[in-house]
Chain A
Amino acid sequence: MKKIKFEKFTIKDIVFLAVITAVTLLASGPVAPLVMTVTKLGTQAFAMALPFSIFTSVGLRKVKKAGSLTIIGLFSGLFLLLMAPVMFFNQFVATLLSEGLALMLFKTYKDKITVLFSSGLFSFFTIPTTVAVNILLKDSSLSQQIGNPITFVLLVLGTTVLGFLGATIGNKIADELQKAGKL
């Protein structure tokens, strides 16, 4: 049975993951006002799904080591910590969950499907984290947060679809770069 292999990160890996995090945060900049103003559960994840999954999947194709997505989550969380402390937990826990699940299923980043699942599911996993934060801090019950169930289901489905779409686009970009010998 294949086991998850944990390899050491070199300074090159860390630098690349940090730079890709910076670009990911910048790419999600245009949707930030929407994320900040809309309170409906799932809207934030829906808006962030595409930019996050595109860039994180490129990052994972370059640094194919277990823990890469969690490191991206840690860096973006630390950056967001200075704006909204709770966002740190949101980012970090979501990356931990999606990477954990992807690696449990497929064991290694050498297969493209692991990258697809890991970065594609990241935004989806921010939803339960947001629910937990809202229950703990805003005293808002699950039903209050969900509101109209149909809209909520559509948002969750949309988040998942956009996440996987972004991850597919990211993989395509990585394929082209690999063909050109740049990755």
Chain B
Amino acid sequence: MSHDPLAPLIHDAYRDVPVPPYPASAVAHVTTGEIAPRRRATVLQLSFAGSIGLVVGALVVSLSWPLHDRIVDGFAALGLHHEALTDDGMHVISLDEARRAARFPLVVPSGVPVSSVEIAGDADTVRLDLEPHSGNHVVVLERPANTATGLPQGTWTKGSTAITVIVPAGTDSAILNRIRTLPPPP
């Protein structure tokens, strides 16, 4: 296993954090059953929410399809039709959209299947998942904001084969092929 120089720095930074006294009285409240009213209140809230949901669902079902289509068109006009937010704050978009939005050229060699493309809100990071459903081929392109050149970097996070990632090099935006070999899987 490779040495990670960050590990001792971060671990030590929190190892000696003084901990406040154990809140015995707060825990005792739980064991004496004071949480029960809250549980009943939660059940009531869920029942109420369920009733509201049924009413809203009935309204949606009763909408005519032309109106539904208009609503969908409205969302599409807002540009929300292709985009979804992942749990790590990345937006799922198409490769073409990523090429337009990314703050650096994004080129994938022909013949390499791209199953999903995600882009960060600052458009400085793009993640390409290659080969559908395998989960074995992920390439991350990121343009560090704090470097002098601001050039993107390609980084394999996992994979078993080499791939050519084309990124710009030099201040004149010339295109350079970078052939990246994969590190051993973690």
Please determine whether chains A and B interact with each other in the same assembly: no
Interface residue ranges, B against A (CB under 8 Å): none
| Chain A interfacial positions (CB closer than 8 Å to B) | none
